[in-house]
Structure 1
C-alpha cells in the first residue's frame, strides 16, 4: 500500500491507498486507524478495480489535529465529502464506514448523494435505530464507555501502562472471544499515543454525546439532521452476531432493511464482534465485493 497526504476541509489527512479506478473511501472508527481496520479489504477492492483510500480521521496520528478542536459528526461528514473532492472522486465513488466511520457514512451519503454511488456501513445502524437503542437499559449498559469517556479522569486511565485499559476494551469487550486484537490495539496506540491525540479522540464522545447536551431537543434536531435521513443510494448494512456494544437481533436487522432504498441489503457476519472488517475478513469482504459487483 502507498502512503499519501491530502488537505481536505482544512485538515491535513494521512492515508493509505491501493489500486486504480473509482474511489472507494474507507472510514474507520474509535480507537482504530484506517490502515489497520481496512487491511484485509483494501487489496480486495484494488483487485476488483477500485482505488481504495483509507485515511486516519481528524486527530488520529499521523493526520493533523483540528486547529479549532472540533470533533463533531458534522465535521466528520464534511471531511468525508471534502476528501471525495480532493481525491478526485466522481459519481461512481463508493463510501464504506465502520463505527464512527459508519455514522459519518450515513451522514455523508445523504449530504452529498451525487458523490457516492453505493453505501456500505457496519456496526452502527442508522440513527433512528441507534438512538432508540442507546436509551434502553441494554444499550446504556453496553455503551457504558460513552459515559466513562465523559469523565476527566478517562484520559489518565486510558494512557496508563501503555494504554493497557484500551487493550482490555478492545480484546475483552469490543471483539469476539476468539479474536486476537493485538494488531488493532497497536495501531490504535500509534494513532492515539499522546495526550493531545487521545483528548481529541475522547472529544468525539464529549462533543457529540456530552452529558449536558445529549437528549435535549436541540441535540436531537442536530443529530437528526446529520444522520437521521437514510441514503437513497443502494446500501449494504453488516453487523456482527457477537457485537456486545450495539446488540442487534434479526428483527432489528429486518427493520433496518425494510427502510433502506431499493437494491439495498443487510446481513449478519457470523461470529464477529464490533470490529467486523478485521475480525471476519473473508465473510465481510465477500459480501462487500458481491454488493459492489451487483
Structure 2
C-alpha cells in the first residue's frame, strides 16, 4: 500500500509494474482491490498499474466537510494523474463510479488521458434518459434510497452487511461467488465515517447544493464530446448494456463498444480473463 497527496487529500493506492501509467478506478460498493485479476497481467505487459482508493474509501482520507460532487471527483483524478504520471498523460480504466467520473475526465481534460476503458455505466446523457424508464429506475433504486439521512447507513451495515451482499447478487450473473472480496469491502465500509463518505457520491449526484461552487467553471467542459480513444465494456447480463448500444454519438474520437457474455455489472470480477484480454488489446492498439 502506498500513499500520495493530491487535490488536498491523502490517497492510498495499490501499485504493480513499471512503464506507462494505467490508472484503474473502482466503484461502489467496492474498493481498489476489485482490479486484483487485471493488475498483474497489465504489469507483466509492461505497464505501471495504479489502483487508488477513491475519496472517502479507507485507507484514503475522509475529508472533513469535504465535497463528493462529480466535478470534485474529476479534479481528484486529474490531480492523481498529474502527480503519479509526472506530467505525462495516463491510460484510464474504470468501472461503475470510476466510469461515471471518467466520462467527465475525458470530456474536460482530454490531454491527460492516452486511451480509456469505461465499464458498466453508460454515458451521462444516456443515464439521464434512463431516469424516465421504469425498469431502469428500478435497477437504480439505490440512488433514491441513499438520499435519505441515516437510514441507508443503518441498512447497509445491518445483519453483517446483508444489503451489500444483495446488491452484488442483484447486479452479477447467477452463480458468481466473490465472498472473500465482498467481505473485505464490507469491512472497509464499516469503518467509522467511510459509509457516509461513500454515500456522499450519490447524495451530491441528485442535490446540486452539495457541489463545490468553486468548480462551477467545469460544468460546460464535462459536457463536451469525448475525443480520447475509448472502449466501453458492459456485461451482457447487465440491464445497463441496452443503454450503451448506441452511445457512440457522444464520442468524437475513436470508439468501440463490447459486451462480455456471462457477466453482469462487476464484469472485471465475473469474467476477469476476458476483461483483461480486451483491456490489453485496447491499450496496446
Q: Tell whether 2:23 aligns with 1:18.
A: no
Q: For 1:67 and 1:224, how far apart are their aligned partners in 2?
A: 24
Report the equivalent of 1:218: none
Instruction: Please show how residues 155-194 of structure 1 align to structure 2 within 5 Å.
Output: 155-171=153-169, 173-194=170-191
Contact 1:91 1:114 in 2 (8 A): no
SS at match of 1:158: helix
What RMSD over aligned residues (CA atoms) do the two structures have, in Å? 2.2
Q: Residue 265 of structure 1: SS of its match in structure 2?
A: strand
Structure 2 distance, partners of 1:81, 1:223, is 13
Q: Distance in 2 between matches of 1:277 and 1:110?
A: 24
For the structure 1 residues 270 and 114, does the alpha-carbon distance in structure 2 shift closer, same or farther, using more than 3 Å as the test?
same
Give the drift of 1:90.
4.5
Scaled by the length of structure 1, what TM-score is found?
Answer: 0.89
Does residue 150 of the first structure (1) align with residue 147 of the second (2)?
Answer: yes
Decide which of 210, 229, 237 is 2:232's aligned counterpart.
Answer: 237
- The answer on whether the counterparts of 1:19 and 1:50 sit within 8 Å (CA) in structure 2 is yes
Choose 191-200 or 224-233, whichever is displaced more. 224-233
Report what 1:279 is aligned to: 270
Tell me how many residue pairs correspond in the alignment: 280
Question: CA 1:196/1:253 → structure 2, altered by over 3 Å: closer, same or farther?
Answer: closer
Secondary structure in structure 1 of the residue aligned to 2:39: helix
Check the 8 A contact 1:113/1:233 in 2, yes or no.
yes
Corresponding residue number in structure 2 for 1:126: 123
Structural mapping, 1:243-282, within 5 Å = 243-244=238-239, 247-249=240-242, 252-282=243-273
The correspondence of residues 34-113 of structure 1 with structure 2, limited to 5 A, is: 34-35=32-33, 37-113=34-110
The 3-state SS of whatever aligns with 1:179 is: coil
Give yes or no for contact 1:28–1:101 (8 Å, CA) kept in 2.
yes
User: Cα–Cα, structure 1 residues 292 and 104, in superposed 2: closer, same or farther, change >3 Å?
Assistant: same
Report deviation, 1:227.
4.1
Structure 2, unpaired ranges of 5+: 211-215
Give the deviation of 1:273 after TM superposition.
Answer: 0.8
The alpha-carbon distance between structure 1 residues 229 and 84, as it changes in their structure 2 partners (threshold 3 A), is same
Cα distance between partner residues in 2 of 1:170 and 1:227? 29
TM norm structure 2: 0.91
CA spacing shift, 1:230–1:125, aligned 2, 3 Å: farther
Cα deviation, residue 256, structure 1: 1.5
